[in-house]
Amino acid sequence: RRSAADFLPPDVDDLDQLRGAAAGCRGCDLYRNATQTVFGDGAPDARALLLGEQPGDREDVAGEPFVGPAGRLLDRALAEAGIPRERTYLTNAVKHFKFVPPERGKRRLHKQPSAAEVSACKPWLLAELRLIRPEVVVLLGATAGKALYGASFRVGDRRGTVFPLPEIEGVEGVAVATVHPSSVLRADDRDAAYAAFVADLRVVAEVLA
């Protein structure tokens, strides 16, 4: 089966080299309609790696993760929890934007990646984890959790708790699960959803303290 593994340079020891290789990835069909690969970005020595789902419309155009509305909410929540964004590394389970074809003049709407697409893209994530070696991985939503723990992962069972990372060679850290920042933007009670999101991020701040 085709995957990102076909595009991963052997013995990669540098994030820029990894990013360069990912720019040409055709490990699944998502590269066809997206603008570009949106690779992870942030501090190479980050102690916290934040894992989202996939780039959104704005990220697809900018080529950087979490620069749209969900990213702005995440920035604010991180600051409130006492975690400087510039000291983190931000990435996504899937590196190309998947969307439903827009109606004329309409914005492109995000479509959830399939398990096969998450699996095809996982070699990039594993390589990022091996190079960053984070102490804590923050799982932003169910897709992030499923990418590392499999299809049975549920955010509701785990949010705000600290649990071991799956076995990944060279990586020793823990994970903390929370919701995806875009779910906070969609929530009926946005203030409560935001407060709960910040509370989960404070658990991450405690791990880093």
Interaction site with ligand URA (CB under 6 A):
52-56, 59, 65-66, 68, 70-71, 92, 182
Which stretch, 24-32, 64-72, 149-157, 176-184, contacts ligand SF4 (CB under 6 A)? 24-32
SS (H, E, C) 124-157: HHHHHHHHHCCCEEEEECHHHHHHHHCCCCCHHH
**63-122 binders of ligand SF4 (CB under 6 A):** 94-96, 117, 120-121
Q: Does 25 participate in binding ligand SF4 (rule CB under 6 A)?
A: yes
Give the total residue count for the chain. Answer: 209
- Least distance to ligand URA from the beta carbon of 209, Å? 26
Number of other CB atoms surrounding residue 135 within 10 Å: 17
Q: Which of 27, 40, 56, 145 binds ligand SF4 (CB under 6 A)?
A: 27
Which stretch, 18-26, 43-51, 55-63, 72-80, contacts ligand SF4 (CB under 6 A)? 18-26
Query: Between 59 and 117, whose beta carbon lies closer to ligand URA?
Result: 59
Question: What's the rounded Cα separation, in Å, for the pair 209 and 192?
Answer: 25
- Least distance to ligand SF4 from the beta carbon of 41, Å? 15
∠ at Cα 12 (8, 16), nearest 5°?
A: 90
Report the DSSP pairing between strands 88-92 and 48-52: parallel
Query: Between 56 and 145, whose beta carbon lies closer to ligand URA?
Result: 56
Task: Look at the block and give the residue holding tokens 């749209």.
Answer: 68
**H and E: helices and strands count for the chain:** 8, 8
Whether 65 and 74 have beta carbons less than 8 Å apart is answered as no
Q: Does 37 participate in binding ligand SF4 (rule CB under 6 A)?
A: yes
Whether 178 and 140 have beta carbons less than 8 Å apart is answered as yes
What does 139 interact with, of ligand URA, ligand SF4, none (CB < 5 to 8 A by kind)? Answer: none
- Least distance to ligand SF4 from the beta carbon of 20, Å? 13
Chain contacts with ligand SF4 (rule: CB under 6 A): 4, 22, 25-28, 30-31, 37, 94-96, 117, 120-121, 124
